[in-house]
């Protein structure tokens, strides 16, 4: 029942910047990995960036040097700073968060939740 709320998408000209945010809420015990993926129109979803609880990051080759993923553990939030945007970055962006949550009976279990997606459109 961990829910993710995404924000920050919109329209921007090529070369511009946007920052996406994804806040997790619910019965969260801890969060491990936090990811951003995207799905361009008519194409398959692809992983864009990921960050571990220790702060290690990975990026798709197509966004290296332009995008930066970060997290605020106190706020259970992950960010994606997108600079030097290109038309090919146009897609629906999704956040994905995994970790451990409290369950009924006082137990704990692993979870993985996905945001509903936010549209990013980059014009030429």
**64-91 pLDDT tens trace:** 999 999 999 999 999 999 999 999 999 9
**Other CB atoms within 10 Å distance of the CB of residue 108:** 12
- Has residue 105 got a pLDDT over 90? no
**22-45 pLDDT tens trace:** 999 999 999 999 999 999 999 999
Determine how β-strand 10-13 pairs with β-strand 118-123.
parallel
User: Among all chains, which residue has been given the structure tokens 């509903």?
Assistant: 116
Alpha-carbon 90 to chain mean position: 15
Which backbone phi and psi does 89 adopt, to 5 degrees? Answer: -80, -10
Burial of residue 86, with CB atoms counted within 10 A of its CB: 0-12 exposed, 13-18 middle, 19 or more buried: middle
């Amino acid at each position: 029942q961990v829910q993710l709320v995404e924000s920050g998408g919109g329209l921007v000209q090529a070369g511009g910047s946007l920052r996406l945010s994804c806040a997790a809420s619910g019965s969260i015990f801890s969060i491990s990995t936090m990811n951003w993926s995207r799905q361009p129109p008519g194409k398959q979803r692809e992983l864009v960036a990921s960050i571990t609880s220790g702060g290690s990051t990975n990026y798709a080759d197509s966004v290296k040097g332009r995008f930066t993923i970060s997290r605020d553990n106190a706020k259970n939030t992950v960010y994606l700073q997108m600079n030097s945007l290109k038309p090919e970055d146009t897609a629906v962006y999704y956040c994905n968060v995994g970790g451990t949550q409290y369950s009924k009976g006082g137990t704990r279990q692993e979870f993985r939740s996905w945001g509903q997606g936010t549209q990013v459109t980059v014009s030429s």
